[in-house]
Structure 1
Amino acid sequence: MAGRFVPRTHRAALPHQAKPPVAEGPVVSEAVTREWTPPGPLDLRLVLGPLRRGPADPTFRALPDGSFWRATRTPAGPGTLRVTARDSRIEASAWGPGAQWLLDQLPVLLGGTDDPDAFRPHHRLLALSRHRRPGLRLLRTGLVLESLIPSILEQKVTTDEAYRAWRLLLRAHGTRAPGPAGPRFAALQLYVMPDARTWSLIPSWEWHRAGVDAKRSATILRAVRVARRLEEAAAMDLPEATARLELIPGIGPWTSAETLQRSNGAADAVSVGDYHLPGIVGFALAGNRNADDEEMLALLTPYAGQRHRASRLILLTGHTPPRRAPRMTPRDIAPL
């Protein structure tokens, strides 16, 4: 119904109606480069995979040549990062105002501060999973908002619905990512997510068109109003960072854990409240597909300090309970 109230004249839009300017094409800039040798095996697909929000995520691309592209908004401004593994080295190139920040943070992003040896498997399944994936490290972006907003979008909906909302909002209100000249990069269609102010100016009908209900959009609006304070959580220990995020109404244990797993590389942040995870952990470790959060946490007790890593290793085994019902049908509130 919002369309009927769109002004029919050509008068200038009011500030709350104006869309942020979106570049017609990618911003061309010079590349800066860096090489880094990780302290051990490193699988870029496993490490960077959690940053990908669906197959058409406008901020992330994994190409057949083994390169991974990431567009993000850094404290220094928008930036695009390309990383590739060459033998035991990581080659990285970056573009845009945030290029140097991205290269400076490269080792941290790729798990250079993570300690996989701190994990001690107590189940055969986890021991095998760890042995088969020596290149798994927990990434750390150092950026809270870029993980928090898509995590809020994923609350209480199917992943397909959340991925669609993320995609539509970024393409409508984000900016084209900086990068090299040429059609190959332009074809990637990479976008940098909006800054906090732009998020706050998205009108209600745009949220609705993207399929985001009022509860989730209101939570995002509350978060972006205190974006600077939330970003400080990236440098905090897990308990303090969790408390900082959960001060915002609408952000609970699941959302804070999903965020801090990525922004802080939090090895112990368990996604309590997840629809599927308790049953997967219960089935893998105790044969109980009906486990709840309390039972999941009890099963993960031997991995205190490393419970998120244990959950990741379980998920990577593919040892999940067989389906007993059809998938949940995605909703689309946009036509309502």
Structure 2
Amino acid sequence: MTTTRRLQPPDGYHFTRTLRSLLVVRHDPCGRVGDRDFWLAARTPEGPGSLHLACAGGELVATGHGPGAAWLVDRADAIAGLRDDLGDFPALAAAHPLVARLARTFSGIRLPATGQIFHRLLRAVLEQKVTGIEAHRAYRAIVRHFGEPAPGPAGLLLPPDPAAVAATPYWVFHPFGVEQRRTQALLRAAVVAARLEQCADSAEATRRLTAIAGIGPWTAAEVVRTAYGDADAVSVGDFHIPNTVAWALAGEARGTDARMLELLEPYAGHRGRVCDLLAAGGISAPKFGPRMPIRSFARF
């Protein structure tokens, strides 16, 4: 089963930079992105499917495969970030020279909204308190362990079925490099995944997510920014972002979560967007001390 739809992106739309955030770096078994095409496998309310977005003559051609094809194509514009409304952000950005410059430079980047919570939650839980290399290595191993082929010709794997994850003993995840604390948070989330997927908006999803033991504001923000395209979601509790915001907006080498939120307050409604722009621009605070080591819990 295939379904096709044509989409009209805005002037200056940046295809790759917008969609790259939906996948882990280097290799994601559930998707891939290039200069002119993008693939994503998903478990939709209508069944498994995969979405292909292709740049063609100034348009985006969205093609869905499998039982979930119609669901994916129907929200292909949201997945591509085309429902992202900048609203009053250009006026807010103009108040700070750096933010204004980054907003102009990266005006073609939009926030995707996949409508898929558990897939992004899997990544976010694995990214808690470890390096990106560790987290992404574990993510790829878990996807392959639960791997089911996705519909379509791209050779992708579907994200793990929450029911299968919930039924798996925590020690199975140890060889993937995931210790008991993160595994238990993931298993708790998998048990209630069906209810999480039914959340009406970002606020409801945040409430339900943070009610799960082991899932705090940082993890919830990472999820809703992608699942709902929430431009205001700030990853409170991040190791780097408070320092980055304090340095970029106030010239302060170190910042707390409270200071970060204070500096971002003028951008209410777009606070997460500002953080994303700083990341896109390669802005970072001065570094002091040793870097976090890359470990493997599988060897413990």
TM-score normalized by structure 2? 0.94
Task: After TM superposition, list the pairs within 5 Å mapping 1:133-152 onto structure 2.
Answer: 133-152=106-125
Residues 13-32 of structure 1: matches in 2 within 5 Å?
A: 30-32=1-3
| 1:95 matches 2:59 | no
Question: What is the alpha-carbon root mean square deviation over aligned residues?
Answer: 1.6
Q: In the alignment, which of 10, 14, 32 is matched to residue 61 of structure 1?
A: 32
Structure 2 counterpart of 1:46: 17
Return the match for 1:165 from 138, 143, 155: 138
Shift of 1:111: 2.3
CA offset at residue 222 of structure 1? 0.9
Question: 1-side partners of 2:233 and 2:161: how far apart?
Answer: 26
- Structure 1 residues without counterparts, runs of 5 or longer: 1-29
Q: Which moved more, 1:171-180 or 1:319-328?
A: 319-328
8 Å contact kept, 2:19–2:33:
no
| Matches of 1:239 and 1:80, distance apart in 2 | 28
Paired residue for 2:8? Answer: 37
Alignment of 1:1-336 (within 5 A): 30-63=1-34, 66-119=36-89, 120-121=92-93, 122-180=95-153, 185-186=154-155, 190-233=156-199, 235-236=200-201, 238-336=202-300
State the distance in 2 between where 1:152 and 1:247 align. 14
Structure 1 residues 212-256: Cα deviation after superposition (integer angstroms, max 9, x where no partner): 1111111111111111211122x22x3333112111111110011
> Which residue identity does 2:299 align to in structure 1?
P
> Could you list the per-position Cα deviations for residues 3-58 of structure 1 after superposition, in whole angstroms to 9, with x for gaps in the alignment?
xxxxxxxxxxxxxxxxxxxxxxxxxxx53322111344421222212211221221
The 3 A distance-change label for structure 1 pair 39 and 56 is closer
Where structure 2 has 5 or more consecutive residues not aligned to the other structure, the ranges are none
Distance 2:280 2:223 in 1: 20
State the identity %: 42
Q: Answer yes or no: is the 8 Å Cα contact 2:217–2:236 preserved in 1.
A: yes
Distance (Å, rounded) in 2 between the aligned partners of 1:260 and 1:231:
11
Residue 161 of structure 1: CA displacement?
0.8
Number of positions where the alignment pairs a residue of Structure 1 with one of Structure 2: 297
Taking structure 1 as the reference length, the TM-score comes to: 0.84
Superposition misfits of 4+ residues, deviation over 3 angstroms: 322-326
**TM-aligned CA distance change 1:323 to 1:87, over 3 Å:** farther
SS in 1 for 2:21: helix
Distance change (3 Å), C-alpha of 1:46 and 1:118: farther
